[in-house]
Amino acid sequence: MQQTLSVSRQVVIIGAGVMGRGIAMVAAAAGHPVCVYDANGRASVQAVETIHQHWQRQADKGKLSVADVARLGERLSRAEQLEQLAEAGLVIEAIVEDLAAKQALFCQLEQIVAADCLLATNTSSLSITAIAAAMAAPQRLVGMHFFNPAPAMRLVEIVRGLATEADVLEQVSATARAWGKETVLVRSSPGFIVNRIARPFYLESLRCLQQGLADCATLDRLLQQAGGFRMGPFALMDLIGLDVNLAVHRAIWQAMCFDPRYTPLWIQQEMVAAGWLGRKSGRGYYVYPQVEPAVVEPLPEPCPDWEQVAFNLVQPVAAVLAQRLQQAGVPVVGGHDTASDWLFRLGTAHVYLSDGRPAARREQVDRHPCLLLDQAVDFQHVSLLAAQSSPRLSAPDRQALEAVLGEAGIRLCHLPDAAGLPVLRTVAMLVNEAADVLQQGLASTEDIDRAMCLGLNYPQGPLAWGRRLGYGWLAQVLRHLADYHGDGHYRIAGWLQQQAFSSLSSPAEVL
């Protein structure tokens, strides 16, 4: 079988919704004749009209020529009956996420299309194996999961069911790459790569909200400014639709046999029950149209005598903070305490990176008051960090420590004391989930990291992020979170636990 579908072969898109229209545009732009079919005939008419209008707008903006629009238009057609699809070289299904409906459709298609026609489903949540199980030739079916908007998003997850033949997988992968997409290969499993690994991005902030640690706007700011994520979780859920997001959570939770790692939270169900679905309903975690409040950060108190402030330069984050202070013209007193992980201290007050323990517990163990800082994707440039104070940290000492960080250009967002801070909890659980996907042999390290960066614009792939922080250290963080919460949510992936046996060092790098 040839590796790439010839551009002379017709591509059929079944399902004329937003995703179906987007995939049709991608295939037409690659040179294929494209046929759109929808069980609702009017929907296919509207889809073709909408696609033509989109191309015309592109021409009006100078992004397409008149000749381009004409050529694209000649490639696009629609069908009124499934029987008209007999000449298809590739069929991509993008109908409603219903197992029975997809099974019935592919059983019909098997009787209509030629034996060499490739059959693909764009499902984002259903098992490829389960869909194919109803077919006479289940080896023909492959997952071809595009991301919305399909013309703009570069990623396509190529999903292999238990019965999918290797040559089918290879040809569909090669075809997607010929269309200008980047592909990752994953075995059929709940959520594939992206939707599964992304669960903690939402769940950790939802848990922080439900636990009363911060409000939605604060958590979004921290995940964006310190975590480096393109959007905060609550703004993103509002964009996706809270009903859609909850449905994905439930589907993965059920498919994973109700594993507590994926348990939806009651606050999600309450929002959906109220009809507060996000942007599309005018209200979700935010009210729309959204008015961005002016954020006024208080200026830190004047810094104390710098000779009283000592930095533990053996810690990479401390070295970065010291460098930022030196660049601001502040003299830095440094030392190298290899026996402890404090970053800097002022008298008896110490500053640490959070390791998943509450500040009160850290104070109890180390026997001095402390301030805990959250993680950041880039400590060289971060300007906002979450922080927690231990019970015996006095207000003057806290203000003085805050002033030190203020001189380095970092403002603090103080949260109630609890186990872990938002960015640390989120990153630790993203790495943990990616480790499980890797251990289960569902996808490669490279494909896991590429999928999360391309599909969701993460600042770094989770496994690369974990390697930078130290897998063993993150396993220790998760153990602290699990000890505190005791609900099974923070169970450590076996692969990550194995790394803990080889290294329990503190974060290895921050640059």
Distance CA 326, CA 316 (A): 15
The residue among 186, 231, 185, 181 whose CA lies nearest residue 205 is 231
Element (H, E) at 503: none
Three-state SS for 354?
coil
Asked whether 99 and 130 are in contact (CB, 8 A), the reply is yes
Selecting among 32, 52, 54, 145, the annotated active-site residue is 145
Measure the CA–CA gap between 249 and 486, rounded to whole angstroms. 21
Q: How many angstroms separate the first and last alpha carbons of the chain?
A: 47
H/E/C letters for each residue in 67-94? HHHHHHHHHEEEECCHHHHCCEEEEEEC
Q: Are 238 and 278 in contact (CB under 8 A)?
A: yes
Question: Do 498 and 415 form a contact (C-beta atoms < 8 A)?
Answer: no
Helices 422-439 and 462-469 pack at an angle, to 10 degrees, of 110
Q: Which strands sit side by side in the sheet containing 411-414, from one edge to the other? A: 333-335, 309-312, 344-346, 349-353, 370-373, 384-389, 411-414
Which residues, including other chains, have CB under 8 Å from residue 210's CB and lie 6 or more apart? 265, 266, 267
Q: Kindly list the distances between the CA atom of residue 411 and the CA atoms of 401, 415, 494, in Å, as whole numbers in the listed order.
A: 11, 13, 37
Cα separation, 270 vs 275, in Å, equals 9
Instruction: Tell me which residue of 467, 457, 481, 476 sits closest to 434, measured CA to CA.
Output: 467
Are 16 and 47 in contact by the 8 Å Cβ rule? The answer is yes
Does the annotation mark 350 as catalytic? no
Say how far residue 8 (Cα) sits from the centre of its chain.
Answer: 36
* Helices and strands counted in the chain (H then E): 20, 15
Which residues are CB-contacts of 358 (< 8 A; sequence separation ≥ 6)? 388, 417, 418, 419, 484
User: How many CB atoms are closer than 10 A to CB 261?
Assistant: 20
Q: Which residues are designated catalytic?
A: 145
